[in-house]
Amino acid sequence: MQGLMMDTPLLISSILRHADRNFPEREIVSVTIDNPDHRYTYRDCFRRTRQLANAFVKLGLKQGDRVATIAWNDYRHLETYYALGGSGFVCHTINPRLFPDQITFMINHAEDRWVLTDPAFVPLLESIVDATPNVEGYVVLTDDAHMPATTLPNAISYESFIANESSDFEWPNLDENAAVGLCYTSGTTGDPKGVLYSNRSSVLHAYAGVAPDVLNLSNKDCVLPVVPLFHVNAWGTPYAALLAGSKLVFPGPKMGDGEALFHLLENETVTLALGVPTIWMALLQYAKSVGKKLESLDRTIIGGAAVPETMIREFFEEHDVVVRQGWGMTEMSPLGTANSPKAGMEKLSQEEKFKIQVKQGRAIFGVEMKIVDDDGNELPWDGKAFGALRVRGPWICSDYYKLAGSGGAHYDGWFDTGDVATIDEQGYMTITDRTKDVIKSGGEWISSIEIENTAVGHPSVAEAAVIGIAHPKWTERPLLIVVRVEDQQVTTEELLAWLQGKLAKWWMPEDVVFVDEIPHTATGKIKKTELRKQFVGYRLPT
């Protein structure tokens, strides 16, 4: 027997309608190049979003057509998300930090018809205009007064683009599986691959995101997504925050600026901020240098890379801020796990709590996960067995865009994350490595992430990366690569002595090298492929 409930499609336009009706007075604050303190309400935002939707329809876009954005986090970018996705078009977000040839590949592969860009990226787009001949025009996210001179064809300022449009727009009643957003994985090997989010997956992901054990979002919150709108939908905050009616603060181009972030957090009384670990290093360093405490921030969601214990401690001990680690990936919209305490854990000592907080967290409802051995056999949740981490759920990619059968749910409906992990008895998952970064020593796996996390606990270590170096007896041995804190002179011997006892004996790095800089990907992760190239043929001490 079928239930007798309405078959209402799950559409992102329904989030917008709900937020407009229930929280019209809620504020959205942005830093933009043309206005460092732009503030307006949800009501203004949705009025302009409807104008923008009308402008897109006038361009002659058809359902499913892609339009690219290449922009920082601000209110115009948010309006674009909803105007495109809500009308049945696809918002293709592009990371401006990628190489021009990667951006060219993405625009051409996605067949983007128009591009919306911040003024700052106009020269970049001009440099690839001949290689992207199918783009019909460019909307520059500013007003006429700040419009840069440009040779881009059909370039128009955003404010002119929407100025004469009606603010009435009937959001179409789409199929809930209609695509809403497109984001390419950075593709450290091979071409980038497109992940295509649907209305349904985005709404379900937003429902899951607001839950107490995940982002714990409500109308009372003020949210600062430092994670970019071009990186997996700023982890879903444009949908989750509006669904909850939270105030939003967008840092625009000030993303990596510790001082600017500190003032935004304080002045806007932000309660939740989200971002990758590198961003928070800049913020914590600034706060320390001026001896100030973060007064309003309640919690941070940190993910995208492992969060060092020292960071969790510093947030808690210096600022009374709880770090909640999250893990996920572009293919997962991105939320997979969140690290919140279970009942009874409040009795643990603070030291024991820190030990749990460094784990990547428990599966959130909607995501099933398991770890498997090389033959695909499921491994126990005992906190010891390492295996390839596989996931499935309604916001996990089933196939890459235009690459049918390429790699989504390849393993009996499960998606292989490319991560290696353990899961403990309580369900807390710990990433030990990317499959391709795992170090095999004497037939056993060594976790490069754990060595890195331990090494950054040393006060003279600013950043650490571990790669495997070929070894005649053990196949591979770990090499620790370190960037020292400025003016600190720690030596190889001192660092190795300090690591003794903190790592299993056979996990101890075989050698330590000091470098000025560790290479990063466009999303701020350590670029191990590059490091392996730099250290190819490196001879370990005998």
Nearest to 230 by CA among 77, 381, 75: 77
DSSP string, 252-286: BTTTT-HHHHHHHHHHTT-SEEEE-HHHHHHHHHH
Helices within 23-111 (DSSP H only): 42-58, 75-87, 100-110
Sign of CA dihedral 470, 471, 474, 477: negative
Q: Which stretch binds ligand ADP (CB under 6 A): 32-40, 411-419, 467-475, 483-491?
A: 411-419
The least CB distance from residue 355 to ligand ADP, in Å, is 15
Annotated catalytic residue 440: yes
Element (H, E) at 313: helix 309-319
Between CA 233 and CA 333 the distance in angstroms is 8
Which residue in 440, 502, 525, 527 is the catalytic one? 440
Binding flag, residue 410, ligand ADP (CB under 6 A): no
DSSP state of 60: T
Binding flag, residue 185, ligand ADP (CB under 6 A): yes
Among 19, 115, 240, 305, binds ligand ADP (CB under 6 A): 305
Around Cβ 537, how many Cβ atoms within 10 Å? 6
Between CA 292 and CA 494 the distance in angstroms is 32
CB nearer to ligand ADP: give 155 or 305.
Answer: 305
Q: Which of residues 226-285 bind ligand ADP (CB under 6 A)?
A: 232
Binding flag, residue 463, ligand ADP (CB under 6 A): no
Q: Which residues of 423-452 are buried (b: 16+ CB within 10 A; e: fewer)?
A: beeeebbbbbbbeebbbebeeeebbbbbbb
Where does residue 133 rank: exposed (0-12), middle (13-18), buried (19+ CB within 10 A)? exposed
Quote the tokens at residue 532: 């392996």
CB nearer to ligand ADP: give 327 or 400.
Answer: 327
Annotated catalytic residue 185: yes
Element (H, E) at 415: strand 415-423
Q: Which stretch binds ligand ADP (CB under 6 A): 104-112, 200-208, 281-289, 300-308?
A: 300-308
Between CA 459 and CA 542 the distance in angstroms is 28
Binding flag, residue 329, ligand ADP (CB under 6 A): yes
Q: Which residues are 446's β-sheet partners?
A: 439
The least CB distance from residue 119 to ligand ADP, in Å, is 26
Binding flag, residue 306, ligand ADP (CB under 6 A): yes
Q: Which of residues 73-92 bind ligand ADP (CB under 6 A)?
A: none
The least CB distance from residue 278 to ligand ADP, in Å, is 13
Which residue in 69, 142, 185, 417 is the catalytic one? 185
Among 51, 330, 333, 454, binds ligand ADP (CB under 6 A): 330
DSSP state of 139: E
φ, ψ for residue 63 (rounded to 5)? -50, 135
Among 132, 160, 186, 529, binds ligand ADP (CB under 6 A): 186
Binding flag, residue 532, ligand ADP (CB under 6 A): no
Between CA 303 and CA 81 the distance in angstroms is 23
Between CA 414 and CA 430 the distance in angstroms is 19
CB nearer to ligand ADP: give 234 or 431.
Answer: 431
Among 431, 456, 465, 531, binds ligand ADP (CB under 6 A): 431
Binding flag, residue 453, ligand ADP (CB under 6 A): no
The least CB distance from residue 204 to ligand ADP, in Å, is 19
The least CB distance from residue 518 to ligand ADP, in Å, is 15
The least CB distance from residue 366 to ligand ADP, in Å, is 17
How far separated are the first and last CA of the chain, in Å rounded? 72
Question: Strands, DSSP E only, in 87-175?
Answer: 90-93, 114-117, 137-140, 155-157
Nearest to 298 by CA among 262, 268, 322, 267: 322
Binding flag, residue 303, ligand ADP (CB under 6 A): yes
Binding flag, residue 525, ligand ADP (CB under 6 A): yes
Q: What is the total count of residues that contact ligand ADP (CB under 6 A)?
A: 20
Which residue in 331, 452, 463, 510 is the catalytic one? 331
Annotated catalytic residue 454: no
- Here's the x/- map for ligand ADP, 348-387, by CB under 6 A: it reads as ------------x---------------------------
The least CB distance from residue 419 to ligand ADP, in Å, is 5
Q: Which stretch binds ligand ADP (CB under 6 A): 34-42, 309-317, 327-335, 496-504?
A: 327-335
Interacting residues with ligand ADP (CB under 6 A): 185-186, 232, 303-306, 325, 327, 329-330, 334, 360, 417-419, 431, 434, 523, 525
Active site residues: 185, 331, 440, 445
